[in-house]
Amino acid sequence: MSPLHTFMPHLRAVLALVLTLAALSPAFATAEHQYARGEFAIIQGGRAPNGKLSIAAHGGSETGGDGFHIYLMAEPGHRRLAALDNVNEDNILDTAPGAFRAACSQDSRCVAVTFRSERHIVTLNLYAVEGRRARLVDAPDLFAGVTGRSIDRKTDGDMRTSVPALTWQAPRRFHLTDYRVFVLDDTALADKLGPLGKTTKRDGGGNTIQFSAEADGELLPGNRIRMGETRPGRFEDLK
């Protein structure tokens, strides 16, 4: 079975989660959860295969946003070990544990966590589990690898959707896909993307440009990452 066929169910699941959460009424545009005192709720996919670790969410206030963090937990006692870096009240949209997704490696020594930072923008964090903590690893950026630049959300307001997703193929090897949608007046970006891009003319003028790419990667000693060839991913049928 090809990596794409292996990966696509996970990508569709992430896309479905994003679209479901984004479809909430304007009054309830976020998935919120009021955490009880001492409640650390395991997120989707958050139980590690070894049964000794889990990934759980906790926050304060009625919406769960105050002091929100994702934690590495020791199991089966469900004891808090450490907060994961780069997931907090400043960069999350949702607080409900069901809005966060973990992908644990088979040996439970690596975990990828995805969550919405905006309604259609997903953040992917990659961690190496080392003893009692999970160390943040610089995750690869397929878009930056092709275009030579990362997206700055403060200035690149033309990116409407971004959904990265990661699945493990072996304890240190993974498959990564990056799917994005831009709305632009011209096709310069599509020209640069080549087979990794697809352009659809908009009825009101301008262009919708999809970027879809996939690649295999490996986490090396020292938490360095080696990526293989970037290939075209799956494009959606945008009307």
What is the pLDDT, as a whole number, of residue 239?
65
Q: What are the distances in angstroms from CA 24 to CA 15, 43, 236?
A: 15, 20, 22
C-alpha distances (whole Å) from 93 to each of 11, 31, 60, 153 are 20, 8, 15, 14
CA distance 236 to 239: 9
Q: Cα 178 to the chain's mean position, in Å?
A: 9
Q: CA triplet 24, 27, 33: central angle to 5 degrees? A: 70
In angstroms, the CA 14 to CA 112 distance is 13
Model pTM score: 0.87
How far is it, in rounded angstroms, from Cα 235 to Cα 11?
12
How crowded is residue 149: how many other Cβ atoms within 10 Å of its Cβ?
Answer: 10
Cα distance between residue 90 and residue 49, in whole Å:
30
Buried b (16+ CB within 10 A) or exposed e, 89-117: beebbbbbbebbbbbbbeebbbbbbbbbe
Alpha-carbon distance 110 to 108, whole Å? 6
User: Which pair of tokens denotes residue 49?
Assistant: 């295969």
pLDDT < 50 stretches in the chain: 1-8, 23-28
203-234 confidence digits (pLDDT tens): 989 999 999 999 999 999 999 999 999 999 99
**pLDDT for the residue numbered 151:** 83
